[in-house]
Amino acid sequence: MARSYRSQMYNEKVLEHFMNPRNVGIIEDADAIGIEGNPVCGDTMKMYLKIKDDIIVDVKFQTLGCGAAIATSSIATEMLKDRPLEEARRMTSRKIADALGGLSPGKIHCSVLAADALKSALASYEAQRQGADTSN
């Protein structure tokens, strides 16, 4: 019973990332942190980035949320690790959902959490950099 419910809601890849999420945790000396919440369901994601020479050398996340929120957070971190900032800026919720083989229509909004947490982290990183530039 539970198995057929899960297979209707989530494909195998989503389930796999939900059961074994990658890059869970925090980065103590993160260069940027992004926090995003969905006001409707209350789910939240915190994304930590370690950046060196415009490359995301490490990325971790903490997500309090549904299976799709955790799976999209997990795959988003895999897509970002060791990638240039320029590529991260082009990340969209659609790309994240596609990398998981798609989400059911009722769960598409969950992929927005990871994309928006990334946007928030990148915006905070840019603001810090601009602040550092103007203080010199």
Whether residue 41 lies in the annotated active site: yes
> Out of 75, 88, 110, 115, which one is annotated catalytic?
110
Q: How far is CA 82 from CA 35, 74, 90, 133, in A?
A: 21, 15, 15, 25
How many angstroms separate the CA atoms of 65 and 58, rounded?
22
- Answer yes or no whether residue 113 interacts with ligand FES by CB under 6 A: yes
Q: Of the two residues 23 and 93, which places its CB atom closer to ligand FES in the complex?
A: 93
- Answer yes or no whether residue 47 interacts with ligand FES by CB under 6 A: no
In the complex, the smallest distance separating the C-beta of residue 5 from ligand FES, rounded to whole angstroms, is 16
Contact predicate 22/77, CB 8 Å? yes
**HEC secondary structure over 73-84:** HHHHHHHHCCEE
- Determine the interface stretch with ligand FES among 24-32, 54-62, 66-74, 83-91 (rule: CB under 6 A): 66-74
- Determine the interface stretch with ligand FES among 7-15, 61-69, 91-99, 118-126 (rule: CB under 6 A): 61-69
**Of 57, 52, 115, which Cα lies nearest the Cα of 89?**
115
Just list the catalytic residues.
41, 110
